[in-house]
Each structure stands twice: as structure tokens, then as C-alpha cells.
């Protein structure tokens, strides 16, 4: 009886160990499953449940919806609508956001603004596209640049010449058509009537959207209030990418900016100083970020373990 009494607690202890071993497995599985339900947002550097995140279709990067909404709104307000890249600068697939994703992340007013700016930018960078000249129509038509050809707007059905944007003139050149027909027959635009009467000196059309612009005072660098296109008042050349205003250093528009050389020099100095200040801030902040990043990661790991 005595050996049997010794064997009983030994087997119970073994069973207890086996039971504890079995119970430890589900707990580790629960920890792993809990970690899978969280994601790390690289914009705000925080962890959120998966239900608060949005995975991009093209690159599968995950960010919180609130950060993505603010990021998309910022790009739209700044006019960067041709391509909205993934917020992760080190995205392995260099992904971008689709129209459906943009529609989900912003409100209806912001999405309408995105679509309007996207149309304008597409026409600005692609010379084979132009806006329909019919008043009130926002259709975009395709054609060969500089070639007189009949173009039919798919939005309103209006047929016009792709070169001069007037009603289609099959048997005439663009110049002959404007000279021969009367104003009542051609539907001549208001700005053309003013030109004929010698009253259009301060009124011109935006080279991008053809909206009439009246210049009362100021320099020759103009910005259209409709499409935000920046151009030269004298030659109508685009100045969207000329932040240093080098256009007025040579050519037919030389010294025609409307400002003194001192003010132009001050403008360029401010632009250079802005870039230098931004670069200096990045240079100064880089060591601080390198020092702080391990501390943040360590604190997150310690917090997760606790």
C-alpha cells in the first residue's frame, strides 16, 4: 500500500504539469491572434485596431482612415491630383490611391473639387485634349494639336474646330472663317468683339480654360481665378513651374514683369531662403529622430509586454 501511495501524488503532479502545458498553448495563440488585429500607422506613428485602418489596393499598405483622409485633402487643396502617391515614402511598390479610395476618404465637396482639378490638370499636361468651348459645358475633347479638324463634344454634342475652338468650318481655314462670317452668324465671343472695337487691351483669355480675365493693375504674372493656372500676361506662357520667374530674364518678355529688379531679387532670395530653411530643419531634426526612434520602439515593446 505504501508504494501505491507514493505513486499517486507523482502521477497527479505529472498530470498537473501536462495540464499546465496544455493551457499555456491557447494563451500564446490568443496573444498572436490579438497582435494580428492591430496595425501600425506610419503617418501618426500609432497602433489601431484593424477596423480603423484602410489598406490601399495597389500596394497593400495600411494606414488609419483619419490620417489618410487628411493626407488626401491636403494633396487636393495643394493641386496635386494627377497622382496621389502612397503616404509611405519607402513603399516597396510605389503605390498610389484610386478614385474609389479617394471618394471613400473625403467628403462629397472635396471629391468634386478633386474631379474638377483632375480635369484641368489633364488638359494642361496633354496637348491632345481641350475643353469644349460651348458656354456652360465642361466636356473634354480629344484631337491633334494645332490641326484644324472637326471635334464633337461627347457631353453636349457641339462640333467645333480643335485648332481655333470656333464652330467647325469645313471649307475654310481658321483665319478665313473669322474674317468672312459676321458676328451674328459665327457667335463670336465677347472678347473678339472687344478686340475689333479696340477695347480688349486689358482683357484676355486664360490659355488653359479660356475664361476672360481683366487686368487692372499689378505685375505680369497672372493666376486664373477659375483653374488656378499661372501664366504670363504678355505672351500667355505657363509659369506654373517657374517659381524663380526666370521667364522675365530673357526673350520678348524681358524686364516686363512690372516690378523693379530689387523686388525681383528679393523674391528670389525669399524662395532660396525658404528651401534652405527647410533643408536645414531636416538636417537638424534627422539626428534627433534617429535618437528618439529607438526609444519610441522600446517604449512600445515594453507597453505591449505589460
Question: Are 269 and 263 contacting, i.e. CB atoms less than 8 angstroms apart?
Answer: no
Give the integer Cα–Cα distance in Å for 253 and 32. 68
Question: Are 292 and 298 contacting, i.e. CB atoms less than 8 angstroms apart?
Answer: no
First to last CA, the chain: 49
The total number of residues shown for the chain amounts to 306
> Which segments within 93-181 are labelled E, that is strand?
129-131, 140-142, 150-152, 159-161
Per the listing, cell 496621389 goes with 84
* 52 Cβ contact list (under 8 Å, min separation 6): 64, 65, 66
219 catalytic per annotation:
yes
* 29 Cβ contact list (under 8 Å, min separation 6): none
Give the integer Cα–Cα distance in Å for 109 and 71. 16
Per the listing, cell 457641339 goes with 158
CA dihedral 275, 276, 282, 288 (to 10 degrees): -150
Cell of 115: 474631379
Task: Single out the catalytic residue among 59, 137, 164, 219.
Answer: 219
Active site residues: 219
Amino acid at each position: 500500500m505504501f508504494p501505491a501511495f507514493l505513486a499517486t501524488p507523482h502521477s497527479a503532479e505529472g498530470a498537473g504539469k501536462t495540464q499546465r502545458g496544455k493551457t499555456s498553448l491557447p494563451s500564446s495563440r490568443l496573444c498572436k491572434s490579438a497582435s494580428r488585429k492591430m496595425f501600425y500607422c506610419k503617418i501618426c506613428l500609432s497602433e489601431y485596431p484593424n477596423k480603423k485602418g484602410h489598406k490601399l489596393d495597389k500596394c497593400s499598405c495600411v494606414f488609419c482612415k483619419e490620417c489618410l483622409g487628411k493626407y488626401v485633402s491636403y494633396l487636393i487643396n495643394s493641386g496635386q491630383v494627377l497622382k496621389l502617391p502612397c503616404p509611405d515614402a519607402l513603399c516597396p511598390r510605389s503605390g498610389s490611391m484610386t478614385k474609389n479610395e479617394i471618394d471613400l476618404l473625403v467628403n462629397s465637396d472635396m471629391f468634386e473639387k478633386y474631379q474638377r482639378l483632375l480635369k484641368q490638370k489633364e488638359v494642361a499636361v496633354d496637348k491632345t485634349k481641350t475643353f469644349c468651348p460651348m458656354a456652360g459645358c465642361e466636356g473634354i475633347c480629344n484631337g491633334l494639336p494645332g490641326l484644324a479638324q472637326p471635334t464633337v463634344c461627347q457631353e453636349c454634342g457641339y462640333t467645333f474646330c480643335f485648332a481655333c475652338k470656333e464652330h467647325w468650318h469645313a471649307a475654310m481655314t481658321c483665319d478665313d472663317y473669322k474674317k468672312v462670317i459676321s458676328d451674328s452668324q459665327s457667335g463670336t465671343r465677347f472678347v473678339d468683339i472687344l478686340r475689333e472695337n479696340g477695347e480688349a487691351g486689358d482683357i484676355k483669355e486664360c490659355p488653359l480654360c479660356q475664361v476672360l480675365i481683366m487686368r487692372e493693375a499689378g505685375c505680369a504674372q497672372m493666376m486664373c481665378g477659375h483653374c488656378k493656372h499661372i501664366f504670363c500676361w504678355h505672351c500667355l506662357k505657363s509659369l506654373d513651374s517657374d517659381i524663380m520667374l526666370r521667364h522675365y530674364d530673357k526673350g520678348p518678355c524681358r524686364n516686363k514683369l512690372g516690378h523693379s529688379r530689387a523686388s525681383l531679387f528679393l523674391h528670389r532670395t525669399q524662395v532660396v531662403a525658404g528651401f534652405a530653411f527647410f533643408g536645414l530643419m531636416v538636417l537638424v531634426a534627422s539626428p534627433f529622430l534617429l535618437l528618439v526612434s529607438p526609444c519610441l520602439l522600446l517604449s512600445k515593446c515594453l507597453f505591449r509586454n505589460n
